[in-house]
């Protein structure tokens, strides 16, 4: 006798319950406008999402293709060895924005000078600053990676190509965020109206809103730092680390990709640090396309980001690839680190 199967319980498929808010629709909803500026930002975010999808697709098949992993043999403007994935991702952003008509300039970790798209400049008065792949050392070992982005309005005519208007503080950012390539691909962004999470549904090829107005906990018992640099730091950082070692409940997490560490910090609280060292007092992380966009997000979520002496969003860089020390995360944990820095002042 044939068994009559039970009707499928569709209530377990959460995707069916969602109203499937896409990124471009969300930007327009946030701005409560269909005006030209809102349309521009919505289109810009849509393009960033497209770059994220292309990079995620490339990552997911990296081990199956020739010539995707490993180093190119070149060294970038930062003096760091360039990976093939860094070059690929850098070019993905360029080609996606070339066709957008919206962005006149792109500036990235992988390019010494900004890349101009003159045909876009009459209408596209925006600059995209980005770190195409954050956490490059994770590329060849199939661990989490990210891309970081920041959008600024182009100011002045910039005819000399020096992009001096970019040498301005982080509160000038119109939008900022990251794409996290983990077990799922997520896009996290803010246009100054809270922080929102989108998750890529590969079957739809769309980023779908999964959490709105995310707030970072005021405290989290996780500290995230490369302790291999312990003896290169100033004594005050060592004092802070001794404090967390002695205090019950603290735990350490460090992934090698700041985007992953910041994502965890945003969700669970805690603090991420990349202090300067004796040889490099300015630290490793670049202000305009790493620290400032993440500081913008974390502040929007109710957290803080500082160099130790100045809020990250107030720092005015002297050059495009300027580095800064970074202490970022939950308000109380950032303040705790600062209390050790002040003690030793
Ligand atoms: P990138 O891959 O863009 O150069 O950035 C790597 C950054 C950051 O993501 C990470 O937290 C940190 O550098 C890791 O550096 P260390 O290996 O020195 O800890
Ligand atoms: Mn980086
Ligand atoms: Mn990078």
User: Do 285 and 318 have their domain in common?
Assistant: yes
The CA distance from 78 to 59, in Å, is 24
Q: State whether the beta carbon of 229 lies less than 6 angstroms from ligand 1.
A: no
The CA distance from 171 to 42, in Å, is 20
pLDDT of residue 120: 85
CA of 243 from ligand 3 middle (Å) equals: 32
This model's pTM is above 0.85: yes
User: Do 201 and 234 have their domain in common?
Assistant: no
Most ligand 1 atoms within 8 A of CB, residue of 284, 294, 325, 329 to mutate: 284
CA of 134 from ligand 3 middle (Å) equals: 4
The CA distance from 236 to 275, in Å, is 11
Q: State whether the beta carbon of 152 lies less than 6 angstroms from ligand 1.
A: no
pLDDT in tens, 92-135: 999 999 988 899 999 999 999 999 998 888 777 899 999 999 99
Atom of ligand 1 nearest to the CA of 261: 11
Q: Which domain holds residue 116?
A: 13-211
In a domain, 6, yes or no: no
CATH code, 173: 3.30.540.10
Q: State whether the beta carbon of 136 lies less than 6 angstroms from ligand 1.
A: yes
End-to-end CA distance of the chain: 84
Q: Which residues of the chain have pLDDT under 70?
A: 1-18, 159-160
User: Do 198 and 266 have their domain in common?
Assistant: no
In a domain, 294, yes or no: yes
In a domain, 5, yes or no: no
Average pLDDT, the chain: 92
In a domain, 162, yes or no: yes
User: Do 145 and 173 have their domain in common?
Assistant: yes
Atom of ligand 1 nearest to the CA of 80: 4
User: Do 147 and 243 have their domain in common?
Assistant: no
Most ligand 1 atoms within 8 A of CB, residue of 143, 258, 275 to mutate: 258
User: Do 116 and 62 have their domain in common?
Assistant: yes
The CA distance from 99 to 77, in Å, is 26
CATH code, 312: 3.40.190.80
CA of 257 from ligand 2 middle (Å) equals: 7
Phi-psi region at 151: left, alpha or beta (left = phi > 0; alpha = psi -120 to 50): beta
pLDDT in tens, 195-241: 999 999 999 999 999 999 999 999 999 999 999 999 999 999 999 99
Q: State whether the beta carbon of 100 lies less than 6 angstroms from ligand 1.
A: no
The CA distance from 244 to 306, in Å, is 19
Please say which residue of 155, 181, 211 terminates a domain.
211
CA of 8 from ligand 2 middle (Å) equals: 45
User: Do 139 and 244 have their domain in common?
Assistant: no
User: Do 55 and 194 have their domain in common?
Assistant: yes
Please say which residue of 174, 191, 211 terminates a domain.
211
Q: In sequence order, which ranges of the chain are alpha helices (DSSP H)? A: 14-17, 23-31, 36-60, 84-98, 235-246, 258-268, 292-300, 331-343
Residue in 221, 214, 195 with CA at minimum distance from that of residue 333: 221
In a domain, 303, yes or no: yes
The CA distance from 283 to 319, in Å, is 15
Long-range pairs for 90-98: beta carbons < 8 A, 24 or more residues apart: 90/132, 92/51, 92/54, 92/55, 92/58, 92/132, 93/51, 93/128, 93/130, 93/132, 93/147, 96/47, 96/48, 96/50, 96/51, 96/54, 97/47, 97/128
Pull the structure tokens for residue 200: 């890529």
Pull the structure tokens for residue 172: 């000038």
Overall domain count for the chain? 2
CA of 131 from ligand 2 middle (Å) equals: 6
The CA distance from 229 to 220, in Å, is 23
User: Do 90 and 173 have their domain in common?
Assistant: yes
User: Do 135 and 230 have their domain in common?
Assistant: no
For ligand 3, a single-atom ion, the residues with CB < 5 A are 109, 131, 133-134
Please say which residue of 211, 245, 271 terminates a domain.
211
pLDDT of residue 52: 98
User: Do 72 and 205 have their domain in common?
Assistant: yes
Atom of ligand 1 nearest to the CA of 254: 11
CA of 130 from ligand 3 middle (Å) equals: 9
In a domain, 1, yes or no: no
Pull the structure tokens for residue 152: 């600024």
User: Do 154 and 285 have their domain in common?
Assistant: no
CA of 228 from ligand 2 middle (Å) equals: 18
Q: State whether the beta carbon of 131 lies less than 6 angstroms from ligand 1.
A: yes
């Amino acid at each position: 006798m044939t068994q009559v199967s039970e009707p499928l319980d569709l209530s377990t498929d959460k995707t069916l319950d969602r109203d499937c808010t896409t990124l471009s629709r969300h930007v327009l909803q946030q701005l409560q406008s269909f005006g030209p500026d809102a349309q521009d930002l919505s289109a810009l975010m849509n393009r960033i999402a497209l770059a994220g999808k292309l990079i995620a697709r490339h990552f997911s098949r990296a081990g199956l293709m020739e010539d995707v992993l490993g180093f190119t043999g070149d060294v970038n403007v930062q003096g760091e060895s360039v990976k093939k994935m860094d070059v690929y991702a850098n070019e993905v952003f360029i080609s996606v924005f070339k066709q957008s008509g919206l962005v006149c300039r792109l500036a990235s970790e992988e390019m010494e000078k900004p890349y101009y798209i003159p045909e876009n400049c009459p209408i596209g008065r925006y600059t995209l600053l980005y770190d195409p792949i954050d956490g490059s050392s994770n590329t060849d070992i199939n661990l989490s990676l990210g891309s970081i982005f920041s959008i600024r309005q182009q100011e002045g005519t910039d005819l000399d190509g020096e992009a001096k208007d970019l040498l301005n503080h982080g509160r000038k950012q119109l939008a900022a965020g990251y794409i996290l390539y983990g077990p799922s691909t997520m896009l996290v962004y803010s246009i100054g109206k809270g922080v929102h999470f989108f998750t890529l549904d590969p079957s739809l090829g769309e980023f779908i809103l999964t959490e709105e107005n995310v707030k970072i906990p005021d405290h989290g018992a996780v500290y995230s730092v490369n302790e291999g640099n312990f003896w290169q730091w100033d004594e005050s950082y060592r004092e802070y680390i001794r404090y967390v070692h002695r205090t019950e409940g603290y735990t350490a997490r460090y992934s090698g990709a700041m985007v992953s560490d910041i994502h965890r910090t945003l969700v669970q609280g805690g603090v991420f640090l990349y202090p300067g060292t004796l040889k490099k007092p300015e630290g490793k992380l670049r202000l305009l396309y790493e620290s400032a966009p993440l500081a913008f997000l974390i502040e929007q979520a109710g957290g803080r980001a500082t160099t130790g002496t100045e809020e990250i969003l107030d720092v005015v860089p002297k050059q495009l690839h300027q580095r800064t020390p970074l202490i970022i995360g939950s308000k109380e944990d950032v303040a705790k680190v600062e209390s050790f820095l002040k003690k030793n002042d």
